[in-house]
Amino acid sequence: MITESTSQLPVLLPAGMMIAAIVAVATGAWRPAVARWVAVVATAVGTVACGIGLAQVIDGQTLTATIGGWAAPIGIGYRFDALSGFIATLVCFMGLLVVLYPPKVGFGLSNDRGMPIHALVLLLLTGLLGVTMTADLFNLFVFLEIYSIAAYSLIALGGPLAALAAFRYLIIGTIGSSLYLLGVGFVYFTTGTLSMAQAADRLAEVADSPTVIAAVVLMVVGIATKMALFPLHVWLPDAHSHAPPAGAALLASVQVKVAAYALIRITFEVVPPELLDEFPLLTILTVFGLAGVMFGSFMAIRQTDFKRMLAYSTVAQLGYIGIGIGLDTPLALVGALLLVLNHAFMKGTMFFVAGSVYSATGRKSIEAFAGLGRRMPWTMVGFTVAAGVDGRAAPHRRVLFQVLPGAGCRRRCQRLGMGGGCGGGGVQPAHPHVLFAGSRSHLVQTRPRRRRRPRV
């Protein structure tokens, strides 16, 4: 049985992050190193608070709050239930890992440069937590814009190409936000409320109205753009591949997942069930999700740049989440949420590895990773664990075979039918070999190395 109780936790989480961002800006102007510790304390406290709240609501309870004590539709409602608590805990924990990651490696900037990177991270977390906590359609738009502004800035820290990718993301993201806001306007004109719960009840009475159908389509397309669901993913590969490693880790692990959470909320709590039965919205999500899986996987295999491969892999993983939403079954939704957790840790770790490798060696291409298993063993252990967690992704195994440390992997390579083992950390099959890796049967073509001719 679902019970509701009043608590200020849903309001304090985004508000606390916003206050911490302001404090980080002020302290950063005085002593930049202090801003990092402000971010560490804020994210650590947020993680603990979310964990305690999640333990409280895991049995079906919901924590609710309203701004100023005004009830909907006048007041803005917030809620903390099992689903939002799960996402909020993940957001805060990944934010904690990002601010603990060395700024010089993660953002290419040292603490004495005066750049408010940690304030931007906290601002991004403010928007993400606001999206997970709000129970108001327009307030959801506000928090979408807050985290988008912070995301644009974090992406642009990666250099000239990153600035171009951030500008492209700004244009496409603004279009997505505008579509969502237009849909919210249609809902308000039809129902007279912006509360998700009240709008759901009133929309059920006019589910066959063309205005309602248009509103649902606009909101779903707008959120799918923020989520980077195929074919609305065009901003993601450049943004994630050119962004600083720590920024890319945060964007890939939680930013697009929060948009997926918003899509789940709107699809199953605001959209009337009668409309879902008559209009093939869920079928469209399933088809586009399946197309995203195939397209993202194919493009990931073709990449030579490590971070760009990770970016296209994210497109494929978001396709799986879209399929889980579109199938509209309890097990499919549970699988989608498990993939959210799996992909957050896996992809965050891999971007951290990419930052460490580039900082230590300057290497970006996958082929240049050969032999790193000996030079950076612990870093490659972290990558191996992350790749093993996501055992379905053949592109990650492609890199894994490049970094396996020499003779220790000879038996493993022979078991996979790869003659010659892994002599110098790279794969050396006796002939071109097609490796079927993972349950999606990706094809990875490996070629024998060319031997250098001895000098005469």
Number of structural domains found in the chain: 2
Examine the domain organization and report whether 377 and 267 are in the same domain: no
Q: Helix %, strand %, coil % for the chain, to 5? A: 70, 5, 20
Residue of 56, 57, 45 lying closest to 17 (CA atoms): 45
> End of a domain among 220, 248, 279?
279
Q: pTM to 2 decimals? A: 0.80
Examine the domain organization and report whether 246 and 353 are in the same domain: no
Examine the domain organization and report whether 11 and 143 are in the same domain: yes
Map residue 234 onto helix, strand or coil: coil
pLDDT, tens digit (0-9, with 9 covering 90-100), for 198-245: 888 888 888 788 888 899 999 999 999 999 998 999 999 999 989 898
Output the pLDDT for position 58.
85
Examine the domain organization and report whether 350 and 240 are in the same domain: no
Output the pLDDT for position 192.
86
HEC assignment per residue over 362-420: CCCECHHHCCHHHHCHHHHHHHHHHHHHCCCCHHHHHHHHHHCCHHHHHHHHHHCCCCC
Asked whether residue 284 is domain-assigned, the answer is no
Examine the domain organization and report whether 202 and 348 are in the same domain: no
> End of a domain among 246, 279, 312?
279
Output the pLDDT for position 415.
37
Examine the domain organization and report whether 60 and 185 are in the same domain: yes
Q: Which 8-state DSSP code applies to residue 432?
A: -
> End of a domain among 247, 279, 311?
279
Residue of 396, 239, 425 lying closest to 317 (CA atoms): 396
Examine the domain organization and report whether 74 and 179 are in the same domain: yes
Contacts (Cβ under 8 Å, ≥6 apart) of 188: 137, 138, 194
Q: Distance between CA atoms of 222 and 309, rounded to whole angstroms?
A: 26
Output the pLDDT for position 432.
27
- Domain of 253 in residue numbering reads as 3-279
Examine the domain organization and report whether 275 and 340 are in the same domain: no
pLDDT in tens, the chain (456 residues): 567 778 888 999 999 999 999 998 888 777 778 888 899 999 999 999 999 999 888 887 888 888 877 777 777 889 998 889 999 999 999 999 999 988 888 887 655 455 688 899 999 999 999 999 998 999 999 999 999 999 999 998 888 898 999 999 999 999 999 999 999 999 999 888 888 888 888 888 887 888 888 999 999 999 999 999 989 999 999 999 898 988 899 999 899 999 999 999 999 888 888 888 888 889 999 999 999 999 999 998 888 888 888 899 999 999 999 999 988 888 888 888 888 988 888 888 888 888 888 877 877 777 777 777 777 878 788 777 777 665 454 444 444 333 333 323 333 333 333 333 333 333 333 322 222 223 333 333 334 444 445 454
Asked whether residue 288 is domain-assigned, the answer is no
Angle between helices 306-327 and 330-361 (to 10 degrees): 170
- Asked if 244 and 106 count as a contact pair (C-beta separation under 8 A), the reply is yes
Output the pLDDT for position 389.
63
Asked whether residue 401 is domain-assigned, the answer is yes
Output the pLDDT for position 110.
57
Output the pLDDT for position 422.
39
Output the pLDDT for position 159.
83
Output the pLDDT for position 323.
92
Asked whether residue 317 is domain-assigned, the answer is no
Examine the domain organization and report whether 259 and 361 are in the same domain: no
Examine the domain organization and report whether 28 and 117 are in the same domain: yes
If 0-12 CB within 10 Å is exposed, 13-18 middle and 19+ buried, where does residue 430 land?
A: exposed
Examine the domain organization and report whether 257 and 355 are in the same domain: no
Examine the domain organization and report whether 86 and 154 are in the same domain: yes
Asked whether residue 312 is domain-assigned, the answer is no
Output the pLDDT for position 451.
47
Asked whether residue 21 is domain-assigned, the answer is yes
